[in-house]
Amino acid sequence: MQTVSRAKVVEIIVHSEQVREYILELEKYRKFDEGSFLQLSLDLVDASEYWPESRTFSIASKCDRKSKRIRLIISKVGSYTTRIFTKLGVGIECTVKYAFGDMILPSVDVPIICIAAGTGVAPFLSFIEKLEESGKLDNLKLYYSSKTKQVLYHFEFLKGCLESNLHCFTTREKSEECHNRRIAIEDILIDTDAEYYICGSQEFIAYFYEALSLQGVKKIHKDEWE
């Protein structure tokens, strides 16, 4: 059963003209599994009302009942996300319906291998925050690719907490802390006991899904955004 809640924007971080991070404070906060996604509508509605036009976004933060806050990383790609960028300022309310999805953090201790491109890191930020809180971050490796280092979102945080379990790739810029090329299957550790998670463009997901399957990996989860 999903919860419908008013959500007030408390902070906006502008990463670029195309990408912004929204910190929302929810009126009705309920427990959700890390990795879940929500529906965001600019219309203000209650649970009893017809659900209006909305768009889907991954929750990029751990469940935190104390703060009642969630983080979204939103890429402006079309009409609705353009309206979000225009209308959703600090102090403005919107409506969210949550939580959805089954690409969630496993409840048992297993190796976790995440492969992300660009804003596709969003659900993994939620995983990482949760595992950091429970002292189990050693279980997770992140392979993260973007055009430039500036758009490796939360790079310093990721580097600080994942250390050698973070592997970054930049395709359009040379950077000392990253591999300066496209990420490929040969870069990924193959461990058939691990749970694999992929999030990025359709092409990115299709490539790694097929390549991992060919390597005998069975437990592959993917979040397709388009």
Nearer Cβ to ligand FAD (144/225): 225
Nearer Cβ to ligand FAD (11/109): 11
Give the footprint of ligand FAD on this chain (CB under 6 A).
37, 55-58, 73-75, 77-81, 119, 122, 223, 225-226
- Calculate helix-pair angle for 155-162, 122-133, nearest 10 degrees: 40
> Please, are residues 185 and 212 in contact by the beta-carbon 8 Å criterion?
yes
In whole angstroms, the minimum distance from the beta carbon of 163 to ligand FAD comes to: 25
Nearer Cβ to ligand FAD (7/73): 73
Nearer Cβ to ligand FAD (15/179): 15
Helices of type H across the chain: 79-87, 122-133, 155-162, 202-214
In whole angstroms, the minimum distance from the beta carbon of 40 to ligand FAD comes to: 9
H/E element, 57: strand 55-58
Of 168, 169, 113, 172, the C-alpha closest to 139 is 113
In whole angstroms, the minimum distance from the beta carbon of 193 to ligand FAD comes to: 26
Strands 69-75 and 140-146: unpaired
> Please, are residues 138 and 68 in contact by the beta-carbon 8 Å criterion?
no
Cis amide linkage into residue 99, ω under 30° from 0: yes
Nearer Cβ to ligand FAD (2/180): 2
As a whole number of angstroms, the distance between CA 189 and CA 11 comes to: 37
Residue nearest to ligand FAD (CB): 78
